[in-house]
Amino acid sequence: MITCRERLLTVLRGGIPDCVPVAPDFSNMIPARLTGKPFWQLYLYRDPPIWEAYLEAAKKFNIDSVMDGYAPLTFPEDSAGQPPKERFIVRRDEQMIVTQGSMRENGRRTWDALVDVFYVDNPPTWGVSPDKVGLGPEPKWYEPLEGVKPVDTGPAGLKRVKELMGDQGLVGVWLTGSCVLGSEEAIYRYYDNPDLHERWAAQRVEAVERRFAQIMSMEVRPDFLCVGGSGTLVFQTVEIFRQLALPAVKRGIELATAAGIPTHVHSCGPETALVKIMAEETSLTVIDPLEIPPMGDCHLAELKRLYGKKLTLKGNLHTTKVMLHGRPQDVVAAARKAIEEAAEGGRFILSTGDQCGRDTPDENLQALVETARTYGRYA
């Protein structure tokens, strides 16, 4: 019997598997909810780390897991030369835990300008201005952050992730990102420094080449490499993406393709223009989540017609209207429609839009998987 891993590899190579693979996007809220623990236990204390909870959820629903960068991969040289930094809890109540980084410089403690907020029942918010959570730039009270479980994020850690994944699917790690501008501050910095744009783009290409060499030197390598980024065309125009991010993305795809390693782009929000660029100007393997209006601008049947022979398309059921608020029969109808629009000839993975909500009913996820396994069979 074909395994989930084999099914996915067949599709990524352009072949026809036994049925359409199915990989709903539920990397965060659903796995955390299934543990029954406060969300901060996973994201802050790594008990368990969120990627480990995801693996359990993938096995529970028996999906064809495409684990795109959920488990971090770091190398010792990544932090070389960086001064040691401590993290402190600067606010704690029933709804949230707020942490702030700090260093000692010249005998005085200095604090990071931004804080991280960990919620009891939602994923964290990173890089928040302290005033947004009722704090000043320097805390009036703080305590050491203790009890964080150690997790190996180096090559040995990736080996363990792959062992835990087994035949349930594929494990990818980040190579570079398609989103350079992801905040208001970054946008101001871009327009205030036009003389630095060319240098920024070149530095990203150099970073891709270094990281690719590091990855290739490992004994156990990832199954694919991630070169996307959430909301690529939300804070960036197509022109800014082309200028700052695309050179490194293209270089990463070139290196991976030459080494026989698939590449993956995840980019929620508007994505049609990005699909066109990836299909016509690169050898990218797979792209998701191809969100439909109003969250995105993708029409699956049209993308399949235009680019379905060049790219593996992965998407695109609505995560709120269908997956969260719909009934199982609504999920079945939407899944059948997606299969009819994009499965012919292969190169399609049935999935959802970006991130299924925390309270998505289990029976809806089960209906999605069952539809792929039955209606998604090839003649």
DSSP 114-157: EEEEEESSS--EEEE-GGGGT--SS-SS-EE---PPP---SHHH
Q: Which domains does the chain show, CATH number per domain?
A: 4-74+153-374 (3.20.20.210), 83-144 (no CATH)
Least confident of 174-188, 191-205, 292-306, 323-337: 174-188
pLDDT band at 29 (very low <50, low <70, confident <90, very high): very high
pLDDT beyond 90 at 160 = yes
Q: Residues 236-257: pLDDT tens digits? A: 999 999 999 999 999 999 999 9
Q: Residues 47-72: pLDDT tens digits? A: 999 999 999 999 999 999 999 999 99
3-class SS of residue 157: helix
Q: Decide: 237 and 280 in contact? Cβ < 8 Å.
A: no
pLDDT beyond 80 at 141 = yes
Measured CA distances, 56 to 52, 68, 156, 303, 332 (Å): 7, 16, 20, 32, 24
Q: What is the pTM of this model?
A: 0.95
254 burial type by CB count under 10 A (0-12 exposed, 13-18 middle, 19+ buried): middle
Residue 83: the pLDDT is 73
Q: Residues 66-94: pLDDT tens digits? A: 999 999 999 988 876 677 789 999 999 99
Residue 78: the pLDDT is 82
Percentage with pLDDT > 90 across the chain: 93
Residue 18 token pair: 């036994």
pLDDT beyond 80 at 120 = yes
> For the chain, first and last CA: distance in Å?
17
Residue 79: the pLDDT is 74
Residue 152: the pLDDT is 95
**Euclidean distance between CA atoms 21 and 240, whole angstroms:** 34
Q: Decide: 135 and 92 in contact? Cβ < 8 Å.
A: no
pLDDT band at 107 (very low <50, low <70, confident <90, very high): confident
Residue 181 token pair: 């501008």
Residue 84: the pLDDT is 78
**Euclidean distance between CA atoms 241 and 238, whole angstroms:** 5
pLDDT band at 106 (very low <50, low <70, confident <90, very high): confident
Mean residue pLDDT of the chain comes to 96
Percentage with pLDDT > 70 across the chain: 99
**Euclidean distance between CA atoms 307 and 275, whole angstroms:** 8
Q: Residues 299-325: pLDDT tens digits? A: 999 999 999 999 999 999 999 999 999
**Euclidean distance between CA atoms 358 and 336, whole angstroms:** 24
Residue 1: the pLDDT is 82
Residue ranges of E strands in 255-347: 263-266, 286-288, 312-317
Residue 85: the pLDDT is 87
Residue 209 token pair: 């080449």
Measured CA distances, 132 to 98, 112, 143, 300, 351 (Å): 11, 15, 20, 39, 35
Q: Residues 280-291: pLDDT tens digits? A: 999 999 999 999
pLDDT beyond 80 at 379 = no
Residue 329: the pLDDT is 98
pLDDT beyond 90 at 3 = yes
Residue 285: the pLDDT is 98
pLDDT beyond 90 at 151 = yes
Which of 340, 351, 360, 349 is closest to 317 using CA atoms? 351
pLDDT band at 335 (very low <50, low <70, confident <90, very high): very high
